[in-house]
Amino acid sequence: MDTQVVIIGGGPSGLLLSQLLNRSGIETIILERSSREHVLSRIRAGVLEWGTVEVLREAGVGARMEAEGFVHDGTWLSDADRLVHIDFHALTGKRVMIYGQTEVTHDLYEAQDALGTRIIHGVGEVTIHDLDGAQAAVDYTLNGTRHRLRCAYVAGCDGFHGVSRRTIPAGKRREFERVYPFGWLGILSKTPPVQDELIYASSPHGFALASMRNANLVRCYVQVPLTDRVEDWPDERFWAEFRRRLPAEAAARLVTGPAIEKSIAPLRSFVSEPLRWGRLFLVGDAAHIVPPTGAKGLNLAVSDVFYLHQALIDALKHGKEAGIDGYSQRALARIWQAMRFSWQMTTMLHRFDDEDSFAAQMRRAALDHLA
């Protein structure tokens, strides 16, 4: 073998899995198609569930998160001018950490460099073979030269468009998908947040989210049609629309400024089953996509990593395969609960173009019920 586990994908899930395995004495190699700079330029989620916080601590990458992250006890949901506070800590004893996915990825790269993990960037034409044999093989092209890695297991952490999921034969895969008829236009701005915690705002004009990264860096979103382009939304238009979707008391505190990043993300719910095919395991976005409404995407990927790293340690160090045999079923049980939650949040907070007056009343009733 060239290594024990080949990890395809150098985003946060691949890096975290490698970090946890390396710290347990298991050797990995990570293959990533993009440059490190590109990976670190991606603007993604910023809300970490407490289970994710604990896994990052276990991986030895929690120091900067503890120093720079913001701990929130809950969040706010709104319907027009009504604000409902959901107190996570009072209800569950748990909190959330506001700490950007880009920062998590940065911390993981530093930790992996310190451990000397081999991370190969710029790979192409990745193919996975021999998943039902004594060893798996992963082929890839780097700088025009074809290479092969032999390993005990392959972890597919290469996202929705990666090769890992498509390696499972189409006839053996079951895929479930709902594509929503809108997206989120998000901006990053060096301005103060309007509230001490996040606001998920439903309004007659559509959804908005007031999020943050720190005391002077916000991430704000508005629901837009899928036909819209970033160029259609100059800063002035964005802030005006964002303001009118917020409750009045929050809108009164809004400080606007130039966007330093702006993008539109479509919303979809997607699950592919199973998560294991022979010596291949799917992790994170390679297996599932959730709408960002419930802040479950990165947290769900970390859950996959947590289950899989335990299973691989048992298999590679102790010869016990119950964990890898049960990985798909165990992870999918949590995935489908996250799907239900994210779908419910999306339905409760967004305005659909073809909806009737009954739908708007149901959104209000859903918030009443939750409150």
What is the enclosing helix (H) or strand (E) of 315? helix 297-318
- Report d(CA 106, CA 99) in Å as an integer: 12
- Report d(CA 36, CA 134) in Å as an integer: 33
Better pLDDT: 42 or 103: 103
Mind listing the pLDDT tens digit for each residue in 152-185?
999 999 999 999 999 999 999 999 999 999 999 9
Position 17 scores a pLDDT of: 98
Mind listing the pLDDT tens digit for each residue in 64-87?
999 999 999 999 999 887 899 999
DSSP track, 145-163: EEEEEEESEEEE-S-TTSH
Amino acid type, 360? A
SS3 of residue 163 by DSSP = helix
Amino acid type, 337? Q
Asked whether the predicted pLDDT for residue 28 surpasses 80, the reply is yes
Q: Specify the CATH number for 3-72+94-178+267-348; select among 3.40.50.2300, 1.10.10.350, 3.40.50.2030, 3.50.50.60.
A: 3.50.50.60
Mind listing the pLDDT tens digit for each residue in 99-117?
989 999 999 999 999 999 9
Nearest to 229 by CA among 255, 263, 203: 263
- Report d(CA 236, CA 28) in Å as an integer: 48
DSSP track, 262-278: EEEEEEEEEEEE-SEET
Burial class (CB in 10 A: 0-12, 13-18, 19+), 151: buried
% residues pLDDT > 70 (the chain)? 100
Nearest to 208 by CA among 292, 279, 311: 292
Burial class (CB in 10 A: 0-12, 13-18, 19+), 313: middle
For residue 214, name the pLDDT band (cuts at 50, 70, 90): confident
All structural domains of the chain with their residue ranges: 3-72+94-178+267-348, 180-266+352-370
SS3 of residue 135 by DSSP = coil
Asked if the peptide bond before residue 181 counts as cis, ω within 30 degrees of 0, the response is no
- Report d(CA 21, CA 27) in Å as an integer: 7
Q: Which two tokens stand for residue 266?
A: 């479509």
Query: Are 30 and 82 a contacting pair, CB within 8 Å?
Result: no
Residue with tokens 């339905």: 347
For 108-134, what is the mean pLDDT? 97
Residue with tokens 């079951």: 174
SS3 of residue 134 by DSSP = coil
For 54-59, what is the mean pLDDT? 98
| Stated pTM of the model | 0.94
- Report d(CA 23, CA 55) in Å as an integer: 13
Position 353 scores a pLDDT of: 86
Return the bridge partners of 124, or none: 141
CATH 3.30.9.10, applies to 180-266+352-370: yes
Query: Are 112 and 20 a contacting pair, CB within 8 Å?
Result: no
- Per-residue burial over 38-76, b = 16 or more CB atoms within 10 Å of its CB, e = otherwise: ebeeebbbbbbbbebbebbeebbbbeebeeebbebbbbb
